[in-house]
Structure 1
């Protein structure tokens, strides 16, 4: 039988989402490996967790969706309590339920929704959950106008880690909105059907360069057209949160 659940986690505590092994070295602690260990203890059987997508080292999540197979009935409430008691307050799961046997957390996702936070003044309490840019002035209006260039379907090969696996790098973004929370905190709301490795961080870093005047408006379209030459900024991981994954029935 197949089950699914939502989870949130503190990305700075893990070496990304995906379980990793390196020859001759200790296994890295990842979100996936931590969940699999907790479920295997709670259910007393090996459990393989499949997530909706991978998050990088340092990237947080509020609404990651996962599925797993387990041959037997389980008590969702009891299992949730057990898992949350085993994950050292670094991971929390919720909404555990039976689902169709052909449900796939990754391939059935219609939309991924990320948020990225920038602080435009020095902060202490929230610095692990946003990009602290000190007292730098950013032209937020220019950043908002430039963000519109990402909307629609584009080849994001130049906004991700280089890849040569032959897989498509086309993505469709339906939202890229800037929200001014106050006079020192800005949140980008970004929705798309799929995202490539470090794509959001590359996009936000480019907008940051436009906002501080290092790059002119129109740079995003130049990059898409492969007419851009020069260095660009990559936004750090701690400002990024996988906020939600959207499905037809969950």
Structure 2
């Protein structure tokens, strides 16, 4: 992928952890792109055209070829641009990175979405328990090359971008330096990385996104 010669467009909604995964990858690679803001409650024709299956952001359009699903997009960016590799070259370490990234989407993101978007207190309590359980696994695995910390941002770091974002938008302190010391330190280091800091949204943008997401889900239930 040659930024100066090829057309790259990114469709998204500011505040979405999935969008910011892709933006971090593009920034790390030095790839210039055109950003188009979409609307979760009034999806654009362009979004419906490029992602007719899930009708969700983010969507990366590279020379008129659309790619959807944030982790798929990040890997595509890494595969098509050699500089500043995101995924490990070692096949075993690469497999581990995929495993933990998928773990986050299957366990952490699902529980986090329930925690943020559910109004019912019982559902929120259950979601909190599920989220803490998932965070415990991450705390125990926060070692070796799973998370790169402040020096090198890798695939698993990017997959975990929702953790510091969730900490920002949550009404309670989700994890502390006492309860999750490794995760707490990683979150601070990652959030303060120059590339990440430049991309991370403001708190009010996060609230706007999650409110729109909740409204979108509520509308789906009515239909």
TM over 0.5: no
Which structure is higher in strand share? 1
Which structure is higher in helix share? 2
- TM-score category (smaller protein): under 0.3
TM-score by length of 1: 0.22
Rg larger in 1 or in 2?
1
